[in-house]
Structure 1
Amino acid sequence: MSSVFRTRSRTQQALLCLVGAALVVLVVWEGLNAPYLPVTAAAAVSGILCLAALVVPERLFARQVALAAAVSCTLSVVETQLPHRPENTPGLVELCALLLLITRAARRYPASKAVIYAVGPALAAALLPLRIAEWDDNLRGLIALIALVAVPFMVVLGVCLRLYGTLRAREREAIRQAQCLEHARELHDFVAHHVTAIVAQTKAARFTAAAGHAQSPQDLDRMLAEIERAGSQAMGSMRAMVSVLRDTAAPSTTLPKGDLSMLHDLAQEFSILGPPAALTLDPQLTERRLPPEITTTVHRVVQESLTNVRKHATGARRVEVRVTVQPGAPDRLEVSVTDSGRSTTPAAREKADGSGYGLVGLAERVEAIGGHLTAGPQSGSGWRVLTVLPLDAASSAS
């Protein structure tokens, strides 16, 4: 509790201190109703101990609860032997504190410990009305009400709060895992794409050198320039990811724009280092504003597919990228990336680099907005990644 208090603002701390002081004053005021000064002092001490048990740290809770319950029960029993007792208000603040101790025990501890910690306050709360002078049916009814209604209600309240806390913790963990998966996809989609371009260009340079072909200064400068450009883009993507991780309120700078125009740049960049990539973009899609979930997913699908072509499509001479409205389904968008490389098994192509997270991440991203992704070899030769997405991602996701 003390650590929670320190996390509050100065204003909240001041208000809590004022509330605590007011409760102490009420406890003392109720104690003044007793006919004897020692009983007044004992009632004030008992009430303050019960209030203190509500705010002590977890490590001191068991000892404080035992002390407060013992003092309260002892005072109630002693007052039954006095010739003069209060006519009313046996200690309402103390009673509320005892009931809240039951709730705290049920909320913070497992069942075995909660029962042990709650027995003392429950007994003290049931005995507290005995401090009243008149013993009649109303008093017995009050004791029954506390024992049979108030105490079980506080137990149920504590259990409900415990379950609510567990659900909130699971929700936070699920959100954290979803964020981790999203960051993993971002790193794979952007950084891996640029690093793959660096590796492909470096391999080409080494292959040319190993074959004994002398490279002209112009060719060498062009290769190095492409490597430098891909490295700069990778660093830019890394910086964007780091800025998002450091400031979760800031929008991600790695997200593509709200249209599909970036696909042209993506195809042109790929064609510089790999086989020519022909992009076919349906005019119907360029003339309308698509949801950002759709444009982002289309960009990721094309980018990851082209990266896989560069990694695994041995002997590919052409790549065709088609982004069109699905025939016969005007509310669906179809993304197709096809290469002419040598056909291979899905496991071989997906695991060739030892990771295999690319298509997995794509499938998760596509399915999250109500789409479907398939990937596999074509008849004859080549590989095709086909994705179908809803044009209205919001309605499909719901």
Structure 2
Amino acid sequence: MTATSAQSAWSSRFNRVSMRLLKAGIIGLLLLTLLAEMFSHGDNQKPPVHSWIAWVETAVSLFVIFVYYWYRPGRKRWIAAAAAASLAATLLDLIYDQGIRGVGTAELLALGLLMLFAVRHWDAAPGRWVAFATGTAVMLIGVARLYSNDLQSAAIGGTMLTAMAMTTVIGFGAYLRSLDKLRRETQEEVRRAERLELAREMHDFVAHHVTGMVVLAQAAQVTDTDPRKAFADIEGAGLAALASMRRMVTVLREEDSGGGVDPLGDLSQIEDLVERFSREGTDATCFISPELAGAVAPEIAATAHRVVREALTNVRKHARGASRVRVVVAAAGGKGLEVSVRDNGRPPKGRASGPLAQSGAGMGLVGLGERVDAVGGQLRAQPRPEGGWETAAWLPREIPESV
């Protein structure tokens, strides 16, 4: 693994640890704030620990803090539950005022953090009303805490500060939401560019088959070939061209295809691909069977190139300590070929073993599997018994008529 990839992996681990420590620090601060609230009191006042309402508010505060700690995208309903519990506890405090300062600062801060998630995941279930409910809970706590001291000016000022804090959280949440939207738009733009690239490459595939038809027609004119055989050959080349075009048009129409399409390559470009990979510090070698030269359909050659490129990308990203990579493109039987990429690296933690269907592979291998299946081939990605990882694909040399 190169110094750049090692530095990237270390940076990723550092960011994860930093975020966990930050969240743990926030949770600790909230719990300390809650504990201080329960036992602090002014002159001639009892601490909130003597009030049953304060205990209810403490339970709600702990629940809100718990929701913040365990929140992940897709758990927005828990934010709604936390907001509802907070509203109920605050209204209970306002109705049954016992003359004792309540508990709510830690709850207020935790709800503010949940407000950020509610705004960021604005359109997620159960709906946008969760953000409004959480904002109402934040405002109500701020007003209740400040009005309990009967200081009108302090209440107004505190209400304004609370509104400003909530506005800041909403703005930050909206900013994060805009980043998510920008990322989605960028992905769509990349997909659109890839589809346009495929449209440009369609000419090469169709031209290959049409050129074959022209050659067959010219040969029939200057030789004693049986006309029926010549017409049959021309018909077969024409059907192959139509099938090739049909497959490409199908891919172009798949707006939401997750596999993606990249600029096409061929068998001769695989050696260049491996050579560029070896320049980055890994011992990478390549062997391509000579008998495959000129005997593989352009679509199959492009798929083989894609298999090697995706496998080498995964080696660079996931194979820890890989120092040797072997790429082999060999004939397999009379009508097929096998592409294999093997490394001696160690898989990262969490990388499952087993075939591709159970490997937990990312979208790269998923899309690659779809592309291999589309031309009548089979893909497998699995650990090797002697160590390392293998990505291999069996491909036909020509596109089957049934595909």
Higher relative contact order (CA 8 A, sep 6+): 2
TM-score by length of 2: 0.44
TM-score by length of 1: 0.45
